Structure 1
Amino acid sequence: MSLRRILSTLLLSSVALVATPTAGNAAATWTKASTTVSIACSSSSTLSQAANWYFPSTATPKALVYLQHGFSRSNANMEALAGKYADAGFLVFVPTLPSSTASNNCAVNNTGDNTTFLNNVAALIGEATVATSSLARSYTTAAGLAGRTGQAMPATYVIAGHSAGGDAVSYIANRLRTTWPAAFANLKLVQLLDPVLSPKGTNMATGLAGLATTSTPIYAISSPPYTANDQASGTTELLKDVDRPFLGVRLTTGSHCDAEGSSTNFLCTLLGGSSKAANVTALQTFAVNWATDAVAGSTTATYYPGGTYYQGLLTAGTITTLS
């Protein structure tokens, strides 16, 4: 039984909206603004979801990172990683999506058929260049709160998802490919953080099958198979569906909570286990530097097989290569 299923009876703590920008800590070089984003649930229903925006100190962000939490989690749990992206010069958007619903399937986790909802989530990015679109309006509000009025939202972007969020963003990225090809052309990387398959549907398989036909990099940072990640179901799906020489790394002593780092809480560590500092550091280092390279169209050798940093972790037994 996966962490997602075990936690299905627990309540997800609500996230309070912040009306003013805040700094995450004294050492941070980013500014956070908390607002909302509207996402259609059906033809007659629209959700207003909490959304955090992390603005880097640089006047021109290098790209946008859309970072999606997993089941029974919220955007607050992704703050540590979001801050690392922002420290590196990325603008980061982290929405809270419902984890699962019994009636309308408007959730990050697929318990019936949530594809209509995920199509609407994809539309956030697909229609982002329209000034009146949901994402554009959320960004404008956040930029005002953060004192960044007049700063344009980057056209290029990275999509990253943790746990069930990895299942969701695989589908979302492919939906962009099929429905908003102009927006998809600006997608530089799909990043899967210990992805976990939803209990129903084939969203990840469908998404990866489409993405595999493109040159868009798909990299995972995973933990070993165990209960909390449904025996590494998402990573297994990735290795089955995408035939490429390099698909990321597995942290040999990793925890499902590694992607949340210092912003995790007991709902993850209770059954996922506490993270080791070295694993969190490795995950954040790879995630940020792979995103930086993907956006720049470069390869910083040290973070890939054969490079000094990578080989050091490989030799130490901290990671194994996914391929």
Structure 2
Amino acid sequence: MALRKNSLVRLWIVSCFFISQNCFASGKKFRETLSLDTDLSIPLTWLHPDSTSTPPRALVVLQHGMMRNAEKMMALAQSLVDKNIEVVLPGITDSQAMDPLFPELFANAFDKKLTDPEGRTLPSRVLMAGFSAGARFLSHVAGLLRNKQRDIRGVVLMDPVIGLLPEQQLGPRLPIPYFTILAKPSRCNSDGNAFPLFESGQFETQGFRLKTASHCDFEGKSSDPLCYMFCGSSPRENSEVIKTFVTEW
């Protein structure tokens, strides 16, 4: 299915006005390191819902973009936690995200994770949600984890940025739902270089392009003026549209 741009945009713009503006209101944050099969390790930031009576509905692996860090995705992570979803944010470096071998290293190590830092069993249902180059990275990880029989329920691609080399493209399309939301072209998303994949139907997905959205809108309230200076400004409601799109899966 080719990317739809008009009807879905109107739907999500209307719905964004009916969601909570509350941010950083609940949940517990933990940090740990994930040891890889090499001598490398990466930091993981976990956000666990407050509820003790109802287990989390799912686990979302939320990956930040290039030249950014996990803290820049914290507003979106909090929105997921408010929906009783556990979130883990890997601290992948830029060089690791571009390394064609690194998705397998990460998937092998993450597949061994059965509990969070407090010893709670992780939800079996997993959603991969990546921003910018992080979207491309997690699209590869999703396939690797699914091959290991992990219950990957879907992949959310937030303004993905791809490269010129074959290994810098999106990972193989899996028989699971893919959801995509794109911003206006800018230097921060390589002039929207992933858009032709979706518009042509070459990579089947559902979603839309927000024609007034900045690349920074995917970070929401966690973004900073420097990002908007380089990537362009946008109406405030775009971040709410994106938050709705990701949290109401």
TM range (shorter): 0.7 to 0.9
For residue 82 of structure 2, what is the aligned residue in structure 1?
Answer: 87
User: 1:172 and 1:225, CA in 2 relative to 1: closer, same or farther beyond 3 A?
Assistant: same
Match of 1:189 among 154, 159, 173: 154
For residue 112 of structure 2, what is the aligned residue in structure 1?
Answer: 127
Match of 2:72 among 61, 65, 77: 77
User: 1:164 and 1:27, CA in 2 relative to 1: closer, same or farther beyond 3 A?
Assistant: closer
Residue 94 of structure 1 aligns to a residue whose secondary structure is strand
Aligned 1:281-292 pairs, distance under 5 A:
281-290=240-249
Q: How many residues end up aligned between the 2 structures?
A: 225
User: 1:288 and 1:26, CA in 2 relative to 1: closer, same or farther beyond 3 A?
Assistant: closer
The normalised TM-score by structure 1 is 0.64
- 1:203: Cα distance to partner? 3.9
Q: Does 1:174 align with 2:143?
A: yes
User: 1:39 and 1:265, CA in 2 relative to 1: closer, same or farther beyond 3 A?
Assistant: farther
Q: Does 1:55 align with 2:15?
A: no
Q: Unpaired segments of 5 or more residues in structure 1?
A: 1-24, 101-106, 130-135, 144-148, 291-323
Match of 2:122 among 153, 159, 175: 153
- 1:274: Cα distance to partner? 3.4
Identity %, equivalent residues: 30
Aligned 1:244-283 pairs, distance under 5 A:
247-283=206-242
Q: Which amino acid aligns with 1:287?
A: V
Structural RMSD (CA): 2.1
User: 1:274 and 1:32, CA in 2 relative to 1: closer, same or farther beyond 3 A?
Assistant: farther
For residue 4 of structure 1, what is the aligned residue in structure 2?
Answer: none
User: 1:119 and 1:273, CA in 2 relative to 1: closer, same or farther beyond 3 A?
Assistant: same
Residue 253 of structure 1 aligns to a residue whose secondary structure is coil
Q: Unpaired segments of 5 or more residues in structure 2?
A: 1-21
User: 1:27 and 1:118, CA in 2 relative to 1: closer, same or farther beyond 3 A?
Assistant: closer
Aligned 1:227-242 pairs, distance under 5 A:
227-240=187-200, 241-242=202-203
Q: Does 1:204 align with 2:169?
A: yes
Q: Which has the higher contact order (CA 8 A, sep 6+)?
A: 2
Residue 51 of structure 1 aligns to a residue whose secondary structure is strand
- 1:218: Cα distance to partner? 0.4
Q: Which amino acid aligns with 2:143?
A: N
The normalised TM-score by structure 2 is 0.82
Q: Which amino acid aligns with 1:77?
A: K
Q: Do the aligned partners of 1:196 and 1:235 also contact (CA within 8 Å) in 2? A: no
User: 1:269 and 1:153, CA in 2 relative to 1: closer, same or farther beyond 3 A?
Assistant: same
Q: Which amino acid aligns with 2:40?
A: T
Q: Do the aligned partners of 1:85 and 1:92 also contact (CA within 8 Å) in 2? A: yes
Q: Deviations over 1:193-232 (max 9, x none)?
A: 1010135443434x1x342xx1x10001111222221121
Q: Do the aligned partners of 2:34 and 2:110 also contact (CA within 8 Å) in 1? A: no
Separation of aligned partners in 2, 1:175 and 1:118: 8
Larger Rg belongs to: 1
User: 1:158 and 1:124, CA in 2 relative to 1: closer, same or farther beyond 3 A?
Assistant: farther
User: 1:98 and 1:26, CA in 2 relative to 1: closer, same or farther beyond 3 A?
Assistant: closer
Which structure has more helix as a fraction of its residues?
Answer: 1
User: 1:116 and 1:226, CA in 2 relative to 1: closer, same or farther beyond 3 A?
Assistant: same
Q: Does 1:31 align with 2:28?
A: yes
Q: Do the aligned partners of 2:49 and 2:84 also contact (CA within 8 Å) in 1? A: yes
Q: Do the aligned partners of 2:23 and 2:79 also contact (CA within 8 Å) in 1? A: no
Q: Which amino acid aligns with 1:123?
A: N
